Amino acid sequence: MSPRREKLTSPQTRIALARGNRPVQHLQPVPGPVDTEAARALFRAQRRTAVRTVVVLSVLLFGLSGSFALFPELGEIRLAQVPVSWLLLTVAVYPLLFGLALWHVRSTERLEGEAESVDRGRSTARGPSRRRVDRRRRSKGDSSTGGEAT
C-alpha cells in the first residue's frame, strides 16, 4: 500500500466511525413461508426426527456408562487381551455415533426432499413463484395500516 494514499469515506461513515458505537438497527421483517400449513407439517416432522436422534443418543451414552456401573464383569472379559469395557469406550462407540448422525441426516434430507417436491408441484400449478417475491418485499409496517397495495 502506498503511503501517499489518503483514506476517505462518506461524511456519514466518518461520523459514525468516530462516534464508535452503533445505533440500534431497525429490524427488517422475517419473510413468511409460502404455505404455512405445509411448513408446519415439515417442522413437526423434523422435530420428530430430532427427538428420535436425541433419544437414541441418550440411550447410547447413558446406557453404555450405566452398563459399566452395573456389570463390572465387562472389565474382566478380554478380547485380544483388551478388556471389553475399554474397547467399547475407546473404539466401538465412535462408529456408532457416526452411524447415528448419518441416519439423522438421511432422514431429514428425505423429509426436506419430499417437502420440496410437493412445493415444486404446487408452485408450477400456481404459476411462477412471483408471490414469494412480493411477500418478501412487504415491509413490516404494512400490516398495521392498509398500507400499499401489494
Partner 1 sequence: MTWAVPAIGLVLVTSLIIGVYGVRAARSTSDFLVASRRISPNWNALAIAGEYLSAASVLGLAGLLLKNGLGTMWYAVGFTAGYVAVVALVAGPMRRSGAFTVPDFAEYRLGAPRLRKLCGFVVLVIMLLYLVPQFKGAGVVLSLVSGTPYWVGVLLAGLVVSGSIAAGGMRSATYVQAFHYLIKLAFLAIPAIYLVVHAGADTRTEALHPEWETHFPQTTPVEFSVATDFTLNEPVTVLTPQGEELELPAGSHSVARGTEYVFPAGAPIPHPEDLPVLGSQRWSTPLLDVGGYPLFETWSTLLAITLGCMGLPHVIMRFHTSPTARTARRVAVGVIALLGLFYLFPTVYGLLGRVLTPHLVMLQGTDTVAVVLPAHAVPGSVGTLLTAMVAAGAFGAFLSTSSGLLLALAGGLSHDLFQGSVPRLRLAVVIGACVSVLLALPAQMIDINVLVVWAFTVAASTFCPLLVLGIWWRRLTLPGAATGLIVGGVTATGAVGWSILLPTPSGWVTVLLAQPAAWTVPLAFLTMMVVSRFTRPPEWAEHAVLRLHSP
Partner 2 sequence: MRQVHALRVDLQDGLHGRNVGAAVRRLRRVLAVDGVMLADLDGPVVAHGARPNDEEIEGVLFQVFEYGGGARTRLSDGTSVCAVPLHVADELAGALVATGEPVETDVEAAAALVSDSLDHAALRRARDRIAAADLRTLRAQISPHFMHNSLAVIAALVRTDPDRARQLLSDFADYLRYGFSDKGDYATVADELEATQTYLELQRARFHDRLDITVRMAPEVLPVAVPFLVVQPIVENAIRHGLERKEGRGHISVSGFGEGPLCVIEIEDDGVGMHPELARALLAGTGPEARSVGLANVDQRLRAVYGPEYGLMIETALGEGTKVTVRVPRFAPGVVVR
Q: At closest approach, how far in Å is the CB of 143 from partner 1?
A: 9
d(CA 64, CA 73): 14
**Interface with partner 2 includes 147 (CB under 8 A)?**
yes
**Interface with partner 1 includes 100 (CB under 8 A)?**
yes
Cell of 146: 392498509
d(CA 124, CA 40): 21
Q: At closest approach, how far in Å is the CB of 101 from partner 2?
A: 22
**Interface with partner 1 includes 39 (CB under 8 A)?**
yes
State the DSSP H helix or E strand holding residue 146, giving kind and residue range, or none if neither.
Answer: none
Q: What is the dihedral of CA 133, 29, 112, 38, to 10 degrees?
A: -80
**Interface with partner 1 includes 71 (CB under 8 A)?**
no
Contact yes or no for 116/123 (Cβ under 8 A)? no
Contact yes or no for 117/55 (Cβ under 8 A)? no
> Of 15, 32, 73, 137, which one interacts with partner 1 (CB under 8 A)?
32
Interacting residues with partner 1 (CB under 8 A): 16-17, 20-22, 24-25, 27, 29-33, 36, 39-40, 42-43, 46-47, 49-50, 53-54, 57, 60-62, 65-66, 68-69, 72, 75, 78, 81-83, 85-86, 88-91, 93-95, 97-98, 100-102, 104-105, 108-109, 112-113, 115-116, 140
